[in-house]
């Protein structure tokens, strides 16, 4: 369905042609159709066709009344993204390169693990945050992704999995009975690909709302984790609007070390992060994850573990810690600590009372698909 912008199209028509059926959450889609004179519930119907039934065009939405179908065929579009390449790592991790309409590209990564299949999605082309250890940072920020470009990564990955017959199909119960069952293979989503999700705040909120909608793909919010560099003032509003899990990239025990590797620390200090965390209205048993990239000789000494433990003690009942041994990439001035040092760091944390600690196994690092290695070449 291409927008009609040819000769003779009036200004209004050109404007209307911009209606992208994939770029709106269900509420916005209801409003958009109402504004065109259709009953709002048609928005629900179209939303289900797009996200659950995979309609390729308005013409395929066979149970819509003809005037609505004609209106959408003439004035709306239903774009789609494709994987331009796919690399499978020996550990089963798959990096998908997704081509955007402006010829730019982003990467997303499917990470299989026992019964789980997690997709790591991108929210921006590049990133503005400038973290010294991250490969995406070397691109700078080229642009935000639109909501549909974020959510579409899930459809691209679903298609890749189903082409390979990989993974069990799951059918979230809640969405049943409303225009067909949901069927998908991904179980979890993490917003840890290229970009800073809270820097693309509206895009990421809308994408989360689309992906969690019980009339769409119906991901339970607790199966989605959004990771932020720590844009402190946006954290509470974001959680309020999406209900998903939060991870914060702490990466250092004190402000001196953190500012040295994360420029954002000059604006938002560790104290600011701890303060917002202490006040966050969290659902019962929900915890926020602190990510901590271990960089040899920079932040991986037992003394760092001690400082870190002391620092996070006031919020210990609200957090868990995820240690990520550095994933190397060309030109990065850091090294991954040895397994023994990672162990020692974890033991030191336990000694100072921090027990909920998980060491993230590197996945897909042989194909530059691991944390902090994403950058289309």
Site for ligand SAH, rule CB under 6 A: 133-134, 192, 196, 227-229, 249, 251, 291, 293, 324, 326-327, 371-373
Q: Which two tokens mark 41?
A: 């519930």
Rounded Cα distance, 59 and 52, in Å: 16
Report the SS3 class of residue 249: strand
**Judging by DSSP bridges, how do beta strands 105-113 and 94-99 pair with one another?**
antiparallel
Rounded Cα distance, 169 and 123, in Å: 26
In the complex, least distance from residue 69 CB atom to ligand SAH, rounded to whole angstroms: 40
What DSSP state is assigned to residue 179? Answer: S
Q: Where are the alpha helices (DSSP H) in 164-224?
A: 201-212
- Catalytic residue, candidates 105, 107, 149, 158: 107
Report the SS3 class of residue 212: helix
* Nearer to ligand SAH (CB atom), residue 45 or residue 225: 225
In the complex, least distance from residue 121 CB atom to ligand SAH, rounded to whole angstroms: 10
In the complex, least distance from residue 327 CB atom to ligand SAH, rounded to whole angstroms: 4
Q: Which two tokens mark 144?
A: 């935000």
- Which residue number is nearest to ligand SAH in terms of Cβ? 372
Rounded Cα distance, 358 and 99, in Å: 34
* Nearer to ligand SAH (CB atom), residue 58 or residue 127: 127
* Nearer to ligand SAH (CB atom), residue 40 or residue 263: 263
* Nearer to ligand SAH (CB atom), residue 175 or residue 325: 325
Using CA atoms of 342, 332, 107, 25 in order, give the dihedral in degrees to the nearest 10. Answer: 80
How far, in Å, are 88, 179, 248, 276 from residue 288 at the CA level?
A: 31, 35, 8, 11
Rounded Cα distance, 38 and 60, in Å: 18
In the complex, least distance from residue 328 CB atom to ligand SAH, rounded to whole angstroms: 7
Q: Is 70 assigned a catalytic role?
A: no
Q: Cβ–Cβ contacts within 10 Å for residue 175, how many? A: 21
- Catalytic residue, candidates 127, 131, 134, 371: 371
* Nearer to ligand SAH (CB atom), residue 45 or residue 153: 153
Q: Is 107 assigned a catalytic role?
A: yes
* Nearer to ligand SAH (CB atom), residue 29 or residue 250: 250
In the complex, least distance from residue 55 CB atom to ligand SAH, rounded to whole angstroms: 32
In the complex, least distance from residue 358 CB atom to ligand SAH, rounded to whole angstroms: 13
Rounded Cα distance, 167 and 185, in Å: 6
Catalytic positions: 107, 371
């Amino acid at each position: 369905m291409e927008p009609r912008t040819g000769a003779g199209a009036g200004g209004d028509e050109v404007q209307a042609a911009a209606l992208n059926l994939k770029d709106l959450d269900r509420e916005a889609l209801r409003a958009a159709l109402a504004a065109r004179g259709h009953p709002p519930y048609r928005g629900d119907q179209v939303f289900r066709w797009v996200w659950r039934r995979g309609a390729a065009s308005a013409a395929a939405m066979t149970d819509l009344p003809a005037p609505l179908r004609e209106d959408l065929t003439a004035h709306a579009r239903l774009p789609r993204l494709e994987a331009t390449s796919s690399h499978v790592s020996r550990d089963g991790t798959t990096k998908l390169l997704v081509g955007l309409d402006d010829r730019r590209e982003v990467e997303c990564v499917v990470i299989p693990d026992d019964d789980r299949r997690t997709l790591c999605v991108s929210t921006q082309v590049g990133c503005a945050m400038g973290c010294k250890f991250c490969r995406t940072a070397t691109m700078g920020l080229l642009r935000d992704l639109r909501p549909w470009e974020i959510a579409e990564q899930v459809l691209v990955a679903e298609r890749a999995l189903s082409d390979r017959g990989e993974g069990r199909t799951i059918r979230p119960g809640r969405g049943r009975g409303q225009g067909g069952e949901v069927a998908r293979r991904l179980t979890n989503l993490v917003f840890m690909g290229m970009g800073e999700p809270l820097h693309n705040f509206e895009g990421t909120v809308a994408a989360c709302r689309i992906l969690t909608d019980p009339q769409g793909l119906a991901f339970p919010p607790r199966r989605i984790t959004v990771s932020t560099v720590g844009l402190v003032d946006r954290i509470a509003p974001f959680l309020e609007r999406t209900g998903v899990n939060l991870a914060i990239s702490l990466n250092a025990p004190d402000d001196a070390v953190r500012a040295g590797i994360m420029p954002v620390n000059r604006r938002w200090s560790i104290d600011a992060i701890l303060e917002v965390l202490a006040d966050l209205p969290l659902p019962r048993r929900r915890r926020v994850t602190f990510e901590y990239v271990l960089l040899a000789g920079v932040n991986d000494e037992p003394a760092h573990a001690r400082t870190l433990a002391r620092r996070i003690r006031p919020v210990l009942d609200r957090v868990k810690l995820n240690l990520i041994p550095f994933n190397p990439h060309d030109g990065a001035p850091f090294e991954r600590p040895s397994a023994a040092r990672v162990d020692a760091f974890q033991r030191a944390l336990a000694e100072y009372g921090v027990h909920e600690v998980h060491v993230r196994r590197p996945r897909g690092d042989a194909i530059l698909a691991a944390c902090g290695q994403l950058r289309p070449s």
